[in-house]
Amino acid sequence: MLKAIGLRSVDDLFAPIPAEYRLNRDLKIPRQMAESEIVEYFRQRSRENGDGYTSFLGAGAYFHYRPVIIDALISRGEFLTAYTPYQAEISQGTLQSIFEFQTMICELTGMEVANASMYDGSTAAAEAVMMAVRLTGRRSVVVARNLHPEYREVLATYATHQGMPLSIANFGDDGRLNLKEVEKSITPDTACVLVQSPNFFGGIEDVDAIAEVAHKHGAMLVVSIAEAVSLGIVEPPRQADVIAMEAQSFGVPLGFGGPYCGVIATREKNVRQMPGRLVGQTVDKQGKRGFVLTLATREQHIRREKATSNICTNQALVALMVNIFMTVYGKVGLKELAKQNLAKTAYAASQFGKHGKVLFSGSPRFNEFVVQTSEDPYAINGRLLGHKIVGGLPLKKFYPELGNAALWCCTELTTRSAIDTAVGFIAESERSVRSAKEEVEEVAR
């Protein structure tokens, strides 16, 4: 090949690079490894990474069963190793599957249009807010304090340089957004209220009431959904103007936090301010049905600095996992799946409530609940870990006012025996705190 090009050596190809910058040594990285060594390396890392533990963690990342056909299908090279479907004639497989994905997201969320995906739930929420800012021509945002704390952080990062003031509305005694706080924070410049339902504590928000307040003041309502399985049994936020969703629960591995699958869904009239790719139906020269990427004039490769977002690469293959998951469970299965989550959680909350204090129990919840204990949850979790159980997420870091509280999650994969074991540790902890207290009191007497 060098001869065909008319060069003597490979080095000649790199002549355009000034000599003083060329690297004249090996990169300091380990030598080339055999496939067997690579597999062993990652098996080793896996063993150091919670392999074999039962977990009660949720908080934006949920452990649901993944039907095996998901990986069987997404591993097909025609899906795995294809690029963004710009060349529609040889991308109909990807395009039709995205069209079906958009349709099912609409069915589940009650919205009229959905995009092909965003990076994740947190960035989808931030982009949905920016969308509301463009649509209303207003700039400020009211954010629910029981929105996932990391979603709030991401929004704060995105908002900093957009001149978008954020105000935080606190939750009330039932853990749900306090409507009075919303009323107080909302101004004529409020573009939208951003709320999560089920919220970070697992509680289901009264979306209709929040929508009423927002709309009364000419603001939009943006609803973030972090636990997609809830849509099987919880009424979707139909009064929302924009929904920003994390679809990880639908067949996407936990994967230590990513890749996941964000989605934005909205009303048809808002579509031209929507970020991200969209697939539309059309016909070819013979009138045959086909699908194309459409409304590209919103996007960066056409509009450059005037685009609705800079997003280019999205989460297509993950959206395909979600699509297959939704197809497997479908109309009946999703409901039954969600119902099992609800049942496990109802049982767990009742059991935990016998020993610790389950907070916010006055309002409906999906598959998460907050347990307050006398002892620091980190200490209880430390003992649970010795029994290969990962306890609920301690909330002190995010909500110091809740004291010794932790966020517990049950899914269809949580067994009764795991729940009973964890409850046993809470009971034991409460007993020992009580007896220690009694001892102190006795000494004092």
Could you say which residues in the range 232-251 bind other proteins, by CB under 8 A? Answer: 232-236
Cβ nearer to other proteins, comparing 39 with 440:
39
- Reported as type and span, the H/E element at residue 184 is helix 179-185
β-pair partners for 372: 357, 405
Asked whether position 104 contacts other proteins by CB under 8 A, the answer is yes
Cβ nearer to other proteins, comparing 58 with 356:
58
| The residue type at 96 | Q
- Of the candidate residues 8, 28, 188, 400, the single one contacting other proteins (CB under 8 A): 28
Shortest reach from residue 277's CB to other proteins, in Å: 7
Question: Where in 318-377 is the site for other proteins (CB under 8 A)?
Answer: 318, 320, 324, 326-337, 339-340, 342-344, 346-348, 364
Among 50-58, 139-147, 188-196, 435-443, the segment contacting other proteins (CB under 8 A) = 50-58
Shortest reach from residue 184's CB to other proteins, in Å: 25
Asked whether position 166 contacts other proteins by CB under 8 A, the answer is no
- DSSP states of 104-146 as a string? HHHHHHT-SEE-S-BS-HHHHHHHHHHHHHHHHS--EEEEETT
CA distance 239 to 363: 20
Structure-block tokens of residue 138 = 């207003």
Asked whether position 78 contacts other proteins by CB under 8 A, the answer is yes
Asked whether position 67 contacts other proteins by CB under 8 A, the answer is yes
Cβ nearer to other proteins, comparing 390 with 433:
390
Shortest reach from residue 242's CB to other proteins, in Å: 15
Handedness of CA 334, 339, 342, 344 (dihedral sign): negative
Among 171-179, 182-190, 209-217, 286-294, the segment contacting other proteins (CB under 8 A) = 286-294
Find the radius of gyration of the CA atoms of the chain. Answer: 25
Residue 287 region by backbone torsions, left for phi larger than 0, else alpha for psi between -120 and 50, else beta: left
Residue 158's Cα: distance from chain center in Å? 17
Shortest reach from residue 364's CB to other proteins, in Å: 5
Kindly state the number of chain residues that form the binding site for other proteins, as judged by CB under 8 A: 189
Shortest reach from residue 215's CB to other proteins, in Å: 19
CA distance 352 to 284: 60
Name the nearest CA neighbour of 178 among 215, 142, 217: 142
Asked whether position 387 contacts other proteins by CB under 8 A, the answer is no
